[in-house]
């Protein structure tokens, strides 16, 4: 080293590096602030400078600098730089709302939707641990879920709500998740969400959704058959539900599988009702009649209900056949009771299945599915699916809110029907009528769809006891529809008028 070099003044950069090497935090903080003004994008200055501020007890300033830096990088679309910087800020202050939102935004921009969701969830847990209000973080989370609209987010948020004891809101989120999974044809995850919903509340609408999912999954694993049989057993005297099951399995081309399952069911009336109706669908008339007459022996009421369904659909005459030796093999009452005692408990099957199936959390898969669901939003299918689920739960206000999003799409008719029926269920018939008067002018609707809404207007007037207006709207609707049921209503109202 020459004499000149010995007395040469060191640059701020060199002094900064010396301070870093010597862990002189005061000097690092002093020089770092100056150097960042000269080199605002230099991470090799930013990181030690922020570390020094933390060591000096200036955490708030450190977090603010990192947050500003991260926000700038998001604007510049340098998400790979913004993410680690904001993660560092969050490590220093895990409860900083600005940083939480910025980090989630960076993940979202990079289409790392699950990481964004996880950021909110983990932050929410930290707020709870600190006994702080979670209201704002929940608003962020719900806003994110509604915007990105992926079933896994709804399902996991429902898990969290259930932990908090908010069963009603958890139920809605589980059902919404299930409907989105169905839209994605992810029936396994749809089943998991519906079963979680079942543990909160059971009703026929949810059970019908379960049947739809089970029809797609049947034959994939033994637990699916167990679930189906257990669910059917709960409706062993409900012929309309049994018919719904058969129709659903027919639509997915699995009626033969359902028949083989029915043959092994041990509850007699359920077995005979199923096999009678299935065999009529399959054209096995003689076999169907055998089972129908077996049903007549043990439950006359169910037999008559099944008979009406068959006659209505197949327009065929079915005589009461004399008993054959085959039909005399009806179990004794004690045997029937013994079988009912052996039926699997639904809650037990549900719990076993939920514990067995894990959720899928692959970021790439989620990103593709989020984009796929956004495509569905364009034609209104996503909104209709959710609105139908909420309507089925009796959550009419939310059903209206979501269905409104589809009024200017190809699903406008379904949306209008859900909204009108929701108002009607709430006892707000005048609102329903006012809404329908507007919708019959909707250019998105075909003439036939407008006529169907006019028929609904007539139905509401009839319910309100205004037969004259009901008749006017029914006639107007039937100019387009030429519907047999509508004609009967018109004739009935006309004859009442004459009387």
Mean pLDDT taken over the chain? 85
CB contact at 8 A, 106 and 82: yes
Where do we find the tokens 């004859």? 495
pLDDT band of residue 8 (cuts 50, 70, 90) is low
pLDDT of residue 96: 96
- In terms of phi and psi (left: phi > 0; alpha: psi -120 to 50; beta: otherwise), the region of 23 is left
Lowest pLDDT segment from 277-291, 340-354, 359-373: 340-354
SS3 39: coil
pLDDT of residue 381: 75
Q: Is residue 348 part of a domain?
A: no
pLDDT of residue 270: 93
Q: Is residue 467 part of a domain?
A: yes
SS3 35: helix
Across 276-290, average pLDDT: 91
Where do we find the tokens 């006012």? 434
Give the percent of the chain with pLDDT over 70: 85
Q: Is residue 18 part of a domain?
A: no
CA-nearest of 98, 80, 85, 72 to 46 is: 85
pLDDT of residue 343: 41
Q: Is residue 405 part of a domain?
A: no
- To 10 degrees, the CA torsion angle through 334, 340, 343, 346? -160
Q: Is residue 390 part of a domain?
A: no
pLDDT band of residue 328 (cuts 50, 70, 90) is very low
Across 113-137, average pLDDT: 93
33 contacts: CB under 8 Å, gap ≥ 6: 49
Provide the domain limits for residue 477.
446-498
Count of structural domains, the chain = 1
Across 248-274, average pLDDT: 93
Check whether 336 has a pLDDT greater than 50.
no
Q: Is residue 400 part of a domain?
A: no
Q: Is residue 474 part of a domain?
A: yes
Give pLDDT tens digits for 27-72: 999 998 999 999 988 999 999 999 999 999 999 999 999 999 999 9
Q: Is residue 462 part of a domain?
A: yes
Check whether 481 has a pLDDT greater than 80.
yes
CA separation for the pair 399, 416 (Å, rounded): 11
């Amino acid at each position: 080293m020459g004499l000149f070099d010995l007395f040469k003044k060191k640059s701020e950069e060199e002094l900064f590096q010396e301070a870093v090497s010597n862990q002189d935090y005061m000097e690092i903080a002093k020089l770092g602030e100056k150097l960042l003004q000269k080199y605002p994008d230099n991470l090799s200055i930013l990181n030690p400078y922020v570390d020094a501020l933390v060591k000096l007890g200036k955490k708030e300033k450190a977090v603010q600098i990192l947050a500003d830096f991260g926000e700038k990088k998001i604007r510049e679309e340098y998400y790979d730089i913004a993410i680690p910087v904001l993660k560092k800020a969050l490590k220093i202050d895990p409860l900083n709302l600005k940083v939480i939102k910025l980090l989630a935004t960076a993940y979202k921009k990079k289409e790392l939707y699950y990481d964004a969701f996880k950021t909110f969830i983990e932050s929410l847990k930290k707020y709870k641990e600190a006994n702080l209000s979670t209201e704002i973080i929940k608003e962020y989370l719900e806003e994110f879920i509604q915007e990105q609209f992926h079933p896994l987010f709804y399902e996991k948020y429902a898990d969290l709500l259930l932990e908090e004891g908010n069963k009603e809101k958890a139920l809605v989120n589980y059902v919404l998740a299930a409907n989105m999974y169905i839209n994605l044809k992810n029936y396994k995850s749809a089943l998991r969400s519906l079963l979680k919903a079942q543990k909160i509340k059971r009703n026929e609408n949810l059970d019908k959704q379960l049947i739809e999912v089970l029809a797609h999954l049947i034959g994939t694993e033994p637990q699916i058959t167990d679930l189906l049989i257990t669910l059917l057993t709960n409706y062993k005297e409900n012929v309309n539900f049994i018919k719904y099951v058969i129709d659903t399995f027919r639509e997915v081309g699995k009626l033969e599988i359902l028949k083989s399952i029915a043959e092994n069911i041990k509850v007699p009336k359920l077995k005979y009702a199923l096999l009678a109706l299935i065999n009529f669908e399959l054209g096995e008339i003689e076999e169907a009649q055998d089972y129908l007459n077996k049903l007549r022996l043990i439950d006359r009421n169910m037999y008559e209900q099944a008979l009406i369904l068959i006659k209505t659909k197949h327009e065929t005459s079915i005589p009461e056949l004399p008993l054959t030796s085959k039909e005399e093999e009806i179990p004794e009452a004690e045997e029937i009771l013994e079988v009912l005692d052996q039926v699997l408990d639904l809650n037990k099957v549900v719990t076993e299945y939920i514990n067995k199936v894990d959720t899928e959390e692959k970021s790439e898969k989620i990103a593709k599915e989020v984009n796929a669901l956004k495509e569905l939003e364009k034609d209104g299918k996503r909104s209709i699916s959710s609105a139908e689920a909420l309507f089925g739960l009796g959550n009419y206000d939310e059903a209206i809110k979501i269905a409104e999003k589809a009024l200017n799409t190809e699903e406008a008719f379904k949306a209008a029907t859900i909204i009108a029926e929701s108002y009607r269920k709430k006892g707000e018939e005048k609102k329903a009528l006012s809404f329908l008067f507007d919708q019959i002018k909707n250019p998105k609707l075909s003439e036939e769809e407008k006529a169907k809404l006019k028929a609904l207007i007539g139905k509401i007037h009839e319910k309100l006891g205004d037969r004259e207006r009901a008749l006017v709207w029914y006639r107007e609707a039937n100019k387009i529809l030429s519907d047999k049921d509508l004609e009967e209503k018109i004739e009935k109202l006309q004859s009442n008028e004459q009387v």
